Amino acid sequence: YHITATQLNEVDALRLVRQEAMTRNLPHVVTASDNELRPIYEVVGGNPLALRLVTGQLHTDPLPKVLDELKEASGHPAQTLYTYIYRRAWELLNENERLTWLAMPMLDPQGGSFEMLVSVCYRIPKHAVDKALKKLISLSLVDCRLGLYESRYSLHSLTRAFLHKQVAHWSGATDTKD
């Protein structure tokens, strides 16, 4: 289903950051005070996807570094902010993770199975796709709907659009002929 998500107010935005942090096993973010997390809202605003992506970056960098780098992109159009966030995420990925992320738009927009993703990433060993997928999920670049017998993996529509229009053209993204 398509759901229009409006900008969140500060209280709900911080609640989403904590929920994402809990899901992503970031206890230092879950237990942070509102005053410590408020700068995320001040820089990113209440956009749910941006909040999720920024929270995902806290897996690799401390909050001050993430915020300092985001401040450079803030004040520009939203597309610039998203370009910066996705570019930063791209730089955190190894080759197999990048190729797996680039393959995600080949799955059904409503989500695809792990086996389908492995078949799309046929040049990457199954265990490497699994490892890549875990990293992409931890950075909030891929969504996972867990099921008892099968999980489904998908992209947010904005992420899908960025992969099609921009990410595939970044240096190193098109070095492969596949």
In the block, which residue shows the tokens 């408020």?
Answer: 38
Better-predicted residue by pLDDT, 75 or 138: 138
Considering only residues 2 and 117, tell me which one the structure prediction assigns the higher pLDDT.
117
pTM: 0.72
Please provide the average confidence, as pLDDT, over all residues in the chain. 85
The yes-or-no verdict on residue 5 having pLDDT over 70 is: no
Predicted pLDDT of residue 113: 95
Residue 2's pLDDT is: 54
Q: What pLDDT digit, counting tens, does each position of 9-31 carry? A: 999 999 999 999 998 899 999 99
Burial 1-12 (b: 16+ CB within 10 A, else e): eeeeeeebeeee
Tell me what pLDDT residue 178 has: 42
Which residue carries 């792990």 as its tokens? Answer: 114
Stretch 89-96: mean pLDDT, rounded? Answer: 91
Q: What phi and psi values does residue 176 have, to the nearest 5 degrees? A: -95, 150
Helix (H) or strand (E) holding 144: strand 143-145
Strands 152-154 and 143-145: antiparallel
Question: 177, exposed or middle or buried, with CB in 10 Å at 0-12, 13-18, 19+?
Answer: exposed
What is the average pLDDT across 28-45?
Answer: 93
Q: Which two tokens stand for residue 5?
A: 């998500």
Fill in the amino acid letter for 63. Answer: L
Split at pLDDT 50, 70, 90, the class of 73 is low
